[in-house]
């Protein structure tokens, strides 16, 4: 997987319907890079992620995501973009009436997989990656919170994405489990995928320093710039 930009945004604005949430956003993210996305509740983190995976329309600026131009992306093309992305939700969004295996197979069928042997091979690869290889027969409610989040990450990995967008993946987990999920995401980034992880977990930021994008007062501030400042009260 060659390195290079996976996200390039210039003068991007983020809107919720007609309400401006963030403006004048400009940053580049390379493959293999791990970035924290922080900010107080309501500061625009989730709205930014939703814009990047084309769930909110682009109204101003330009954005190139995994080879797709958001300003020219048609609604029917959004699924093609999302096949190149892995999206990790805080609230899991698992199919509670299907087993671990069937949750993954559902996604594979929906995204065009046909060969049953290849499907089961890939399924076992991602479950092994997230340490759930013995849990395939279980229902989601038989898993711990940390295991459910690992399943969500497995689902995000199933199509070998170039970019992982994780929205508060440790928000509902205890500190030890949170650290395990964080380490899994870092490991994924080391394989050449980019990871954007929205978080309120200041302890992780202190223990594992990395690049930070901070949503504040309708803007995005990048820790790569010299005027960046971080205070615990800001997240």
* CB burial string 60-71: b at 16+ within 10 A, e below: ebebbbbebebe
15 in helix, strand or coil?
Answer: strand
Give CA–CA dist 140/188, Å, rounded. 23
Q: What are the angstrom distances between the C-alpha of 63 and each of 12, 46, 57, 87, 145?
A: 7, 17, 11, 18, 34
Both structure tokens of 142: 């038989």
Confidence at residue 89, expressed as pLDDT on a 0 to 100 scale? 83
Of 114, 138, 160, which closes a domain? 160
- What integer pLDDT is reported at residue 52 of this predicted model? 95
- Specify the pLDDT at position 112: 85
Residues 114 and 65 in one domain: no
**What is the DSSP secondary structure assignment for residue 225, as one 8-state letter?**
S
Q: Do 77 and 169 have their domain in common? A: yes
pLDDT at 143: 96
- Token pair of 71 as six digits: 């300003």
Structural domain ending residue among the three candidates 160, 192, 219? 160
Could you say which DSSP state residue 133 is in?
A: T
Per-residue pLDDT of the chain (235 residues; tens, 9 = 90+): 457 899 999 999 999 888 999 999 999 999 999 999 999 988 999 999 999 999 998 889 999 999 999 999 988 888 889 889 999 987 888 999 999 999 999 999 988 899 999 999 999 999 999 999 999 999 999 999 999 999 999 999 999 999 999 999 988 888 889 999 999 999 999 999 999 999 988 888 888 999 999 999 999 999 998 778 777 665 5
CB of 166 closer than 8 Å to CB of 185: yes
Instruction: Count the domains in the chain.
Output: 2
| 106 and 80 in a common domain | no
Tell me, what CATH number does 1's domain have?
Answer: 3.40.50.300
99 and 128 in a single domain? The answer is yes
Beta-ladder partners of 222? 213
User: What CA dihedral angle connects 98, 99, 104 and 105, to 10 degrees?
Assistant: -70
pLDDT at 124: 95
The residue segments making up the domain with residue 71 are 1-84+165-235
Residues 42 and 112 in one domain: no
Residues 3 and 70 in one domain: yes
- The strand order across the sheet containing 62-65 reads 19-30, 5-16, 62-65, 68-69
**pLDDT score recorded for residue 1:** 46
Domain boundary among 160, 185, 218: 160
């Amino acid at each position: 997987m060659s390195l290079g930009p996976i996200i390039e945004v210039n003068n991007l604005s983020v809107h919720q319907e007609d309400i401006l949430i963030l403006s004048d956003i400009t940053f580049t993210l390379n493959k293999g890079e791990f970035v924290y996305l922080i900010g107080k509740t309501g500061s625009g983190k989730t709205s930014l992620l939703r814009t990047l995976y084309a769930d909110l329309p682009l109204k101003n600026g330009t954005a190139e995501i995994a080879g797709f131009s958001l300003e020219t992306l048609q609604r029917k093309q959004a699924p093609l973009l999302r096949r190149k992305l892995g999206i990790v939700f805080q609230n899991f969004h698992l199919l509670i009436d299907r087993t671990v295996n069937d949750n993954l197979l559902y996604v594979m069928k929906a995204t065009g997989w046909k060969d049953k042997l290849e499907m089961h091979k890939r399924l076992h690869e991602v479950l092994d990656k997230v340490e759930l290889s013995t849990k395939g027969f279980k229902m989601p409610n038989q898993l711990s919170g940390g295991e459910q989040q690992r399943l969500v990450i497995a689902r995000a990995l199933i199509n070998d994405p170039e970019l992982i967008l994780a929205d508060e993946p440790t928000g509902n987990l205890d500190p030890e489990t949170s650290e395990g999920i964080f380490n899994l995401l870092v490991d994924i980034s080391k394989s050449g995928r980019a990871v954007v992880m929205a978080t309120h977990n200041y302890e992780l930021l202190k223990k594992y320093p990395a690049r930070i994008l901070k949503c504040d007062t309708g803007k995005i501030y990048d820790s790569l710039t010299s005027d960046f400042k971080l205070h615990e009260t800001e997240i």
